[in-house]
């Protein structure tokens, strides 16, 4: 039966969960005396100065500290992940100024940069793991839930145009999830396990292992989580009501290895998420399961030919699948499967100590295997939606130059992209950086970006002729200008910036007529390009670190529209549906081996298509205890998320009819977590 397609993984997930829990019990008998003390301190007691020396990878081909990056970058480091007991990458990203993790009725955990909302699929912010781009070949979205938060070393967020670096889908920003596969000493060996349980039937377990030898290193991580979820009464866009559960559960396995100049990477994940229907209706599957799964394989070769020339080649295979319900009885489902094969080659040449060039090319083969509606009980395909065996190929050439002279640095770059359907595009960027001191810099950045139409937006067509893609679509484009100032003194770090951005050719679903040689379909849904709109914003991030008093951060984001796109009356930029202000703040206070941490997140009110949606404030509290047992480092954390039990709602901005808002998060939850490091 087609149930074997994979949307029921409960048995496999529970088996992994039980295995990892058994590993936790067994591991308590291990004796690894050296690693416990060193690993406990690695990110637990680092000074602010040490944290600011962490090298960032997302903003250029070179690892650089945040003061020297040619783009605007924010970082969530391992210490913040530990102290605030984040349970997912999505939860951590919500703290970044200018960044938000949204949802629609169709999809959970949509990364959103600088207020540019995404419709059905999250394809405007590029998601990477260890700088390897990944997204669904059919619909274009990345997945933040493919990596366990316990496997994450840090999360790097590049806000603004990133197409010169990464090509399509890095339209409004990029997220790079960096794993714990770093070692400084030959023969270094580390491992750890984590387990937890909480309200709403939550259980979780994970384990990771790292070893670094003279010429070989390996990192492995496994994770599984389950929960019954939070049940509430949902009223759909037709006024029908029914009980649905909010949940997010799944499993993942990640392996990263290096041997001399060779690097290998594997990530396999399965996620089950709550779902409000293919349209937000009980009759359209609201309350049933939405499966997301994928596999990412990567090989990379890096070699320094001499002291000034570096060569890099890589090939990636990225397979993703979603399987979602289409009817209340869950007998009709949709299977959306695709894969990408990408090749890249690049070379960096240091002409002098201050002048560096980089150039190379990418080839991207995107293949839509299917977008099928199928009958579960009859094991038959109902519709192929014009998506079977569709292929899109594109190649790009890019070049960058970097010149440092005295306290100044200039960085310029361009990328030429040719796609078989929309033709050619050129995106460019330039930045100027002036370092007053090593911890005090000014950045002026101008950049362009683009996003190519996905195969779904080009080809999709329902058998009932109600929704149509369009091969006439052209890429979305943006132009951005920003100025940023970064400084650190005593125990304080501040990054503040202002930006102005213009967007055009936005791709969205509209209601109109579609003509073919033999017929015309009237008042149907069709993908079109919109007009132009502009926004400006302010971002401010501050971090204070004084272990004797308190560690704290405060992030604030403000955004305002300059003009609005009213293409065919649809106001596609949807700026009325985003908050003008978001504020995140947190503190950590340690008393001996005990620590307390708290988080506050504020989001100003927005407009819904029917009525206004109030502002909300959520609060989290964590209490932890850190100690040693024999040779092991243990951390216990008790967390209460959403202490005020706030009913968090955001606008339903995709369809904008009937349903005014969708829930963004869960009700109040309580959990206990045990982290054991060796």
| Residue carrying the six token digits 């377990």 | 205
3-state secondary structure of 654: coil
Average pLDDT over residues 8-27: 41
Phi, psi of 231 (to 5 degrees): -95, 135
Interval 261-319: pLDDT, tens: 999 999 999 999 999 999 999 999 999 999 999 999 999 999 998 989 999 999 999 99
Q: Is the pLDDT of residue 17 over 80?
A: no
Inform me whether the pLDDT recorded for 43 exceeds 70: no
pLDDT tens track for 192-251: 999 999 999 999 999 999 999 989 999 999 999 999 998 999 999 999 999 999 999 999
Query: Per the structure block, which two tokens stand in for 546?
Result: 């004084």
pLDDT of residue 564: 65
What CATH code would you report for 2-677? 2.40.170.20
pTM (2 d.p.): 0.91
In the chain, domain spans: 2-677
Cβ atoms 271, 143 nearer than 8 A = yes
Find out whether 648 and 665 touch, Cβ atoms under 8 Å.
yes
DSSP H/E element including 16: helix 10-27
**Phi-psi map region of 109: left, alpha, beta (phi>0 left; psi -120 to 50 alpha):** left
pLDDT mean over 645-661 = 89
**Count of CB atoms situated within 10 Å of the CB of 490:** 9
Pairing of the two strands 380-383 and 355-375: antiparallel
pLDDT of residue 628: 87
Does 36 have pLDDT greater than 90?
A: no
The answer to whether residue 27 scores a pLDDT higher than 70 is no
Phi-psi region of 261 (alpha: psi -120 to 50; beta: other; left: phi over 0): alpha
3-state DSSP of 209-236: EEEECCCEEEEEEEEEEECCCEEEEEEC
Backbone angles phi, psi at 250, to 5 degrees: 170, -165
pLDDT digits (tens, 9 = 90+) for 453-494: 999 999 999 999 999 999 899 999 999 999 999 999 989 999
Q: How far apart are CA 483 and CA 357, in angstroms?
A: 24
Q: What is the mean pLDDT of the chain?
A: 88
HEC per residue, 451-464:
ECCCHHHHHCECCC
Banded pLDDT at 400 (limits 50, 70, 90): very high
Only one residue has tokens 């100003």, namely 604
Residue 641 has pLDDT above 70, yes or no: yes
Average pLDDT over residues 80-108: 92
Read off the pLDDT of residues 551-576 as tens digits, 9 standing for 90 and up: 999 999 999 987 765 555 454 557 78
């Amino acid at each position: 039966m087609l149930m074997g397609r994979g949307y029921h993984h409960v048995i496999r997930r529970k088996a992994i969960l039980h295995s990892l829990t058994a590993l936790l019990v067994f591991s308590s008998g291990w004796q690894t005396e050296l690693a416990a003390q060193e690993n406990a301190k690695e990110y637990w007691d680092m000074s602010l100065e040490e944290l600011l020396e962490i090298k960032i990878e997302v903003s250029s081909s070179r690892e650089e500290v945040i003061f020297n990056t040619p783009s605007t970058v924010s970082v969530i480091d391992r210490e913040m992940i530990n102290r605030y007991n984040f349970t997912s990458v999505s939860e951590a990203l919500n703290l970044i100024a200018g960044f938000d993790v949204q949802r629609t009725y169709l999809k959970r955990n949509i990364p959103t940069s600088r207020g540019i909302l995404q419709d059905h699929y999250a394809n405007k912010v590029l998601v990477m793991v260890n700088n390897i781009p990944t997204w669904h070949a059919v619909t274009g979205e990345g997945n933040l839930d493919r990596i366990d938060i316990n496997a994450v070393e840090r999360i790097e967020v590049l806000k603004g145009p990133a197409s010169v670096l990464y090509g399509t889908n890095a339209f409004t920003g990029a997220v790079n999830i960096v794993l714990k596969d770093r070692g400084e000493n030959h023969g270094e060996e580390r491992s750890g396990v984590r387990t937890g349980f909480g309200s709403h039937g939550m259980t979780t377990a994970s384990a990771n292992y790292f070893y670094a030898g003279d010429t070989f290193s390996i990192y492995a991580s496994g994770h599984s989580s389950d929960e019954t979820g939070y049940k509430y009464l949902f009223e759909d866009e037709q006024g029908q009501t029914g009980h649905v559960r909010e949940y997010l559960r799944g499993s993942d396995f990640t392996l990263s290895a290096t041997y001399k100049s060779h690097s290998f990477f594997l990530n396999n994940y399965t996620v089950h998420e709550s779902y409000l229907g293919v349209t937000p209706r009980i009759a359209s599957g609201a309350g049933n399961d939405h499966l997301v799964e994928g596999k990412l394989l990567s090989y990379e070769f890096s070699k320094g030919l001499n002291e000034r020339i570096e060569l890099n080649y890589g090939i990636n295979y990225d397979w993703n699948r979603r399987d979602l319900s289409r009817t209340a009885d869950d007998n009709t489902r949709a299977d959306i499967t695709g894969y990408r094969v990408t090749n890249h080659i690049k070379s960096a040449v240091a002409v002098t100590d201050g002048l560096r060039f980089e150039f190379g090319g990418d080839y991207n083969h995107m293949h839509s295997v299917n977008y099928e509606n199928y009958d579960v009980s009859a094991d038959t395909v109902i519709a192929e939606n014009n998506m079977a065996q569709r292929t899109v190929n594109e190649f790009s050439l890019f070049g960058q130059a970097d010149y440092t002279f005295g306290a100044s640095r200039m960085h310029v770059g361009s990328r030429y992209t040719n796609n078989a359907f929309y033709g050619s595009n050129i995106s460019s960027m330039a930045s100027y950086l002036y370092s007053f001191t090593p911890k005090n810099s000014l950045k002026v950045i101008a950049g362009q970006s683009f996003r190519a139409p996905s195969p779904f937006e080009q080809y999709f067509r329902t058998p009932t002729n109600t929704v149509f893609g369009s091969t006439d679509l052209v890429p979305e484009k943006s132009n951005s200008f920003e100025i940023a100032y970064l400084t650190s003194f005593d125990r304080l770090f501040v990054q503040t910036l202002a930006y102005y951005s213009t967007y055009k050719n936005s791709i969205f679903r509209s209601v109109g007529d579609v003509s073919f040689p033999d017929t015309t379909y009237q008042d149907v849904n069709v993908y079109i390009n919109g007009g132009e709109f502009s926004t400006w914003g302010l971002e401010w991030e501050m971090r204070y670190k004084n272990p004797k008093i308190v560690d704290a951060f405060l992030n604030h984001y403000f955004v305002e529209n300059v003009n609005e796109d009213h293409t065919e009356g649809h106001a596609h930029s949807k700026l009325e549906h985003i908050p003008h202000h978001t504020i995140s703040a947190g503190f950590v206070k340690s008393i001996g081996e005990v620590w307390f941490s708290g988080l506050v997140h504020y989001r100003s009110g927005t407009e819904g298509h029917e009525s206004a949606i109030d502002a909300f404030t959520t609060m989290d509290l964590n209490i932890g205890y850190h100690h040693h047992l024999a040779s092991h480092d243990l951390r216990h954390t008790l967390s209460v998320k959403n202490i005020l039990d706030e009913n968090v709602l955001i606008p339903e901005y995709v369809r904008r009819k009937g349903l005014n808002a969708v829930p963004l998060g869960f009700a109040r939850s309580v959990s206990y977590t045990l982290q054991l490091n060796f």
